[in-house]
Structure 1
Amino acid sequence: MRIILLGPPGAGKGTQAVRMVERLGVPQLSTGDMLRAAVAAGTPVGLKAKEIMDRGDLVPDEVVVGIIADRIEEPDARSGFILDGFPRTVAQAEAFDAMLQRKGLKLDAVIEFKVNEAELVERIVKRAKEAEARGEPVRKDDNPDVFKTRLGAYRTQTAPLSAYYAGKGQLKTVDGMKSIDEVTEDIKKILGR
């Protein structure tokens, strides 16, 4: 299964992706991890990305899509993958769709986690306090001000993907404010497993 998970930071995508990896037997692909691996491996696309990053520039969409194109050819991803954190923009989604089409592949599901943003901020604050109470380091993303900035960036850059995938008839939604187990069950219903 080829799946994209959409939703703002803190919506539970990462938690659900781990459960889906176990259940479906397909890898979760992180663009950041793939970028670092391609650079370390010295692949042609990785070398291009390294040159761009060494200049301090952002890696353009076509390079990121090229890295994903290479990654999904690896044996563990041939039967599918879960993308969380990509695409981030409609332009990336269009480039990704074009690449999949060239490979004769299609997405099986685009699942968006719908959340109440005010409650999401409370969830993040609670998560930070719980980590602190356990003596664990607090993720820098769990600072309410940093989190609100990330939420704003999500709203302007990534939220338009909902309309893009809905227009293609591919978007399914889950209530990300439900319990972890309830969200898992809702995703199972969407995927049929």
Structure 2
Amino acid sequence: MFNLILFGPPGSGKGTQSEKLVDKYGLVHLSTGNLLREEIKSETPLGLEAKKFIDKGQLVPDEVVIGMVDSYFDKHKDARGFLFDGFPRTVAQAEALDKLLELKKNGIAAVLALEVGEEELIARLLNRGKTSGRSDDTDEAVIRKRFSVYSQETSPVAEHYRKQDKFHSIKGEGSVDAIFDALSSAIDDRLNVNS
């Protein structure tokens, strides 16, 4: 099983690139953001609780997210691999994911990080907010808070995977196809190492 993490701040293009990578490599897309938005849309107790955190630009508690990921694995036992989009966001989540995968006799093969400048990201998110219906994309103050949370809590995740020699930085500005080619090249290199 080939498990991949696509890493980067909000608005870096993870969703766009994830779709293309899932198609090319036959992976199951696991977006905790999409799972949470589905819960919110369905107004489940989990969704309503998660919305309180998201509307303030805060992260949803780890135990909630890990529980969702575990049940998602169980629903896709025959997958060739998973592409994690927007998860893990903290070192605690990364460690919990590593343990969960270890229990399933598996692991993360590579972490690819889309690097995009902050002002470019703010412009992308405000633009996305005009059509996405996502309340967290329409307010620049909330967007900046998300970047602050990302820098403080998520950036250390990169270091966690750097120590395991699984982290690769990819330029996330330019055409969608050029970024996809760079991601594919990094994945192909990793697949060759693992085969």
With over 3 angstroms needed to count, the CA separation of the structure-2 counterparts of 1:75 and 1:124, relative to structure 1, is closer
| Distance (whole Å) between structure 2 residues aligned to residue 182 and residue 32 of structure 1 | 25
- Aligned amino acid, residue 118 of structure 1: E
Contact (CA 8 Å) 2:122, 2:140: kept in 1 or not? yes
- Aligned amino acid, residue 106 of structure 2: L
The unaligned stretches of length 5 or more in structure 2 are 54-58
TM-score normalised to the size of structure 1?
Answer: 0.76
| Distance (whole Å) between structure 2 residues aligned to residue 187 and residue 71 of structure 1 | 25
- Specify the SS of the correspondent of 2:74: coil
Q: What is the Cα deviation at residue 35 of structure 1?
A: 5.9
What are the within-5 Å matches in structure 2 for residues 71-82 of structure 1? 71-75=72-76, 78-82=79-83
- Aligned amino acid, residue 170 of structure 2: V
With over 3 angstroms needed to count, the CA separation of the structure-2 counterparts of 1:112 and 1:69, relative to structure 1, is same
Q: What is the Cα deviation at residue 122 of structure 1?
A: 3.5
- Aligned amino acid, residue 21 of structure 1: V
What are the within-5 Å matches in structure 2 for residues 29-48 of structure 1? 29-34=30-35
Matched residue, 2:56: none
Matched residue, 1:168: 164
The unaligned stretches of length 5 or more in structure 1 are 39-45
Q: What is the Cα deviation at residue 9 of structure 1?
A: 0.7
TM-score normalised to the size of structure 2?
Answer: 0.76
- Aligned amino acid, residue 103 of structure 1: K
After superposition, the CA RMSD in angstroms is 3.2
Which of these two proteins has the greater Rg computed from alpha carbons? 1
Cα deviations by residue, 1:139-188 (Å, 9 ceiling, x for unpaired): 53143332212111111111111111111111011001122111100011
Contact (CA 8 Å) 1:3, 1:83: kept in 2 or not? yes
Matched residue, 1:188: 184
What are the within-5 Å matches in structure 2 for residues 16-165 of structure 1? 16-34=17-35, 50=46, 53=49, 60-75=61-76, 78-125=79-126, 127=127, 136=131, 139-140=134-135, 141-165=137-161
Number of residue pairs aligned between Structure 1 and Structure 2: 177
Identity of aligned residues (%): 35
| Distance (whole Å) between structure 2 residues aligned to residue 63 and residue 34 of structure 1 | 11
| Distance (whole Å) between structure 2 residues aligned to residue 60 and residue 21 of structure 1 | 27
| Distance (whole Å) between structure 1 residues aligned to residue 94 and residue 164 of structure 2 | 12
Contact (CA 8 Å) 1:26, 1:76: kept in 2 or not? no
- Aligned amino acid, residue 163 of structure 1: E
With over 3 angstroms needed to count, the CA separation of the structure-2 counterparts of 1:176 and 1:32, relative to structure 1, is closer
